[in-house]
Amino acid sequence: MKYFVHFALAFFSIGVIGPAHAQAWPTKPIRFIVPLGSGNVNDHAARIVAGKLSSKYGHPVVVENHPGAGGIVGMNKFLTSASDNHAFGFLPGSVVIITPLLYQGVTYDVKRDLMPVAPVGEIPWVIVVHPDSGIASLEDLVQRAKASPGQLNFATQFIGSGAHLVAMRILGKMDVVKNFTMIPYKGSSEAVVSVVSGETMVTMQSVVAVASLIKSGRLRALAVTSKQRLSDWPNLPTTSERFHDSDGTGWFGIFASSGTPPEIVAKLSRDIDAVIRMPDVIKQFEVAGIYPVFGGQKELAEKMANETPIFEKIVKDFNIKIK
């Protein structure tokens, strides 16, 4: 898995070659291919970044949504559109790392076909329970699960989603993954409603999906899954504070196809990082529950290298399959 890091470092080192080529780019509208439907957080972030780059480049940056088959439809659209050096993938980590592990018919090869450009943002999840559950901490949750194996329902997004696999990872670190019955729902709203109504015991959702319910007392927050505590939830512990190495977030970044000239990728990487650091972009992200991730090719490559073996192990250990 060191491939990603070494490749990005080499790519970055030659990014200064060919400045004339980079200065002449872009020459026409840029396309951000999102392998998900419109209206989700990934799509929202793409449109924020696209708006800023449109102003900078003097050419429109257009967001195109191509959902389907766990992101495979959008990935194929991106890779077949990228030969003109003006189409890029605005991709969630789940499509880059998890989809190839679970879905039949994946024809793209991440190492062969994708070049990391820059990270954009991440979505921490919050573990929540019904306030009448009698569970006030992760330790309480673990004790209840061990005392009643198989009797607690965990509401999750569809099987194979990033949220589902991270939940499995965290429950595994708590040594209670087999004590829960995982109940998959079509989306986050359905999973949240199931806990509020008492149909299920616990779920793990994005901050923005549960913040108002936590504040109103209809849900109780136990922990957040990010590496550090969140600035707007300073009293909420992280999962790793209680159970070592149990963090995990949803994230997304921008990718080029492997044939894209390195000077173009280096320029886009710098420009994206500059956009993510803009105070008004950070504010827009905050409202949507997105936490910006700064850096360029190297940082995104390292993230992929670090997470790929983690999810490979989760899929293997728990025999997760898409039927």
Detail the DSSP E strand segments found in 138-262.
152-156, 180-184, 202-206, 220-224, 249-257
pLDDT score recorded for residue 21: 52
> Cα(274)–Cα(270) distance, rounded to whole angstroms?
6
With respect to residue 102, please indicate whether it lies within any of the assigned structural domains.
yes
Residue 82 CA to residue 198 CA, distance in Å, equals 47
Would the pLDDT of 165 be above 70? yes
Q: Are 227 and 216 in contact, with CB atoms under 8 Å apart?
A: no
Domain boundary among 242, 274, 298: 242
Binning pLDDT at 50, 70 and 90, where does residue 309 land?
very high
Whether the CB-CB separation of 165 and 314 falls below 8 Å is answered with yes
CA-based nearest residue to 201, from 138, 153, 247, 236: 153
Is residue 21 one of the residues assigned to a domain? yes
Give the tens place of pLDDT for each residue, 124-160: 999 999 999 999 999 999 999 999 988 899 999 888 8
pLDDT over threshold 50, residue 226: yes
> What pLDDT is attached to residue 321?
80
On whether residue 323 sits in a domain, the answer given is no
Q: Which of 225, 242, 259 is the last residue of a domain?
A: 242
Q: What is the DSSP letter of 230?
A: B
pLDDT (0 to 100) of residue 150? 87
Report d(CA 25, CA 40) in Å as an integer: 30
Least confident span in 11-15, 27-31, 57-61, 288-292: 11-15
- Give domain status of residue 136, yes or no: yes
- Confidence class for position 14, pLDDT limits 50, 70, 90: very low
- Report which of residues 13 and 234 the model is more confident about: 234
Give alpha helix (H) positions in 182-278.
188-196, 207-215, 239-242, 262-276
Residue 322 lies in a domain: no
The CATH number covering residue 113 comes to 3.40.190.150
Strands 87-92 and 249-257, by their bridges, are: antiparallel
* Residue 4: pLDDT over 60: no
Which pLDDT value is given to residue 158? Answer: 85
| The pLDDT of residue 32 is above 50 | yes
Q: Is 112 exposed, middle or buried (0-12, 13-18, 19+ CB in 10 A)?
A: exposed
pTM score, two decimals?
A: 0.87
Q: Answer with the one of 195, 220, 242 that is the final residue of a domain.
A: 242
Higher pLDDT: 161 or 19? It is 161
pLDDT at residue 323, as a whole number: 65
In a domain, 95, yes or no: yes
Asked if 274 and 294 sit in the same domain, the reply is yes
- What's the whole-number average pLDDT of the chain? 90
Same domain, 146 and 204: yes
For residues 37 and 100, membership in a common domain is answered with yes
Q: What is the pLDDT, as a whole number, of residue 74?
A: 95
Collapse the DSSP code of 109 into the 3-class scheme (helix H, G, I; strand E, B; otherwise coil) and give the result.
Answer: coil
**Count of domains for the chain:** 2
CATH (domain of 236): 3.40.190.10
Q: In this predicted model, what pLDDT tens digit does every residue of 264-306 receive, in sequence order?
A: 999 999 999 999 999 999 999 999 989 999 999 999 999 999 9
* 51 and 129 fall within a common domain: no
CA separation for the pair 104, 106 (Å, rounded)? 6
Omega cis (within 30) before 26: yes
Residues 96, 31, single domain; the answer is yes
78 part of a folded domain: yes
Considering the domain architecture, whether residues 104 and 154 belong to the same structural domain is answered as: no
Enclosing domain of residue 106: 2-123+250-317
Residues 217 and 70 both lie in one domain? no
**Alpha carbons 99 and 93: distance in angstroms, whole number:** 9
Res 12: pLDDT: 47
**What is the pLDDT, as a whole number, of residue 43?**
93
| Percent of all residues in the chain with a pLDDT value above 90, rounded to a whole number | 78
pLDDT at position 2: 47
pLDDT of residue 7: 47
Question: What is the token pair recorded at 226?
Answer: 């990010």
166-211 per-position pLDDT tens digit:
999 999 999 999 999 999 998 889 999 999 999 999 999 998 899 9
Q: Answer yes or no: do 40 and 118 share one domain.
A: yes
- The verdict on 80 and 217 lying in the same domain is no
Q: Are residues 6 and 113 in the same domain?
A: yes
Tell whether 131 and 119 lie within a shared domain: no
On the question of pLDDT at 13 being above 50, the answer is no
Residue 255 lies in a domain: yes
Query: Same domain, yes or no, for 46 and 109?
Result: yes
Among candidates 225, 256, 219, 255, which has minimal Cα distance to 241?
225
* Alpha carbon separation from 314 to 80, 216, 306, 318, 320 (Å, rounded): 31, 35, 14, 6, 8
Model confidence at 308, pLDDT cuts 50, 70, 90, reads: very high
